[in-house]
Amino acid sequence: MEKFFKHSVKAIIIKNGKLLTVSVDYGRGRYCKLPGGGQEWGETMSETIIRECKEELNLDIKPLRLVLARDYIAKNHQQPYDLDCFHLAELMFECEAADFSTLGNGSEPDSNEQKIKWIDLNDLESSDFYPKAIIPYLKNLKNIKETIVLGDVN
């Protein structure tokens, strides 16, 4: 089986104590995740997250700082829906938006079944948000002073 590596840049957008997520279903069950996606060749990380939020959410955002980095190496997590050859590296940026009036599915939503969902930070643990390992950091975002590298977590 050929090894597959993906590099992804994600947006952490919190407004009034709620996290902006996209609810998706890739044929393995619905769950919520941070908006964002794959970096294209020649594109900076900031350009990637700006483009991805425009495509997915029709939202103009400003990346503020890199907060979290994680790996997800499928063979280490025994998930029934990922092949052992899959490896994802995710960089998560705290972002802000000045105007949410345009928020909605953009020109290239993350899936045909994408839904935009705000989740109260206090309800993240009991929600269908993934990866669960980043929830404590999201709830404590303002106290994070430098980028945290989480390693291989889910």
Supply the CATH number for residue 66's domain. Answer: 3.90.79.10
CA angle centred on 142, ends 89 and 98, rounded to 5°: 85
Q: What is the pLDDT of residue 122?
A: 96
Contact 6, 41 (CB under 8 A): no
Dihedral angle sign, alpha carbons of residues 134, 8, 67, 96: negative
Q: What is the pLDDT of residue 30?
A: 85
| Whole-angstrom distance, CA of residue 71 vs CA of residue 73 | 6
Range of the domain at 68: 4-152
Dihedral, CA of residue 133, residue 137, residue 138 and residue 139, to nearest 10? 110
The three-class DSSP label of residue 154 is coil
The structure's pTM equals 0.90
pLDDT tens for 108-118 read 766 667 899 99
Structural domain count, the chain:
1
Contact 72, 131 (CB under 8 A): yes
Nearest Cα residue to 90 out of 143, 154, 144: 154
| Whole-angstrom distance, CA of residue 10 vs CA of residue 91 | 6
**Model confidence at 83: pLDDT above 90:** no
Q: Is the peptide bond before 136 cis (omega within 30 degrees of 0)?
A: no
pLDDT tens for 14-52 read 999 999 999 988 777 788 999 999 999 999 999 999 999
pLDDT tens for 87-146 read 888 999 999 999 999 998 777 766 667 899 999 999 999 999 999 999 999 999 999 999
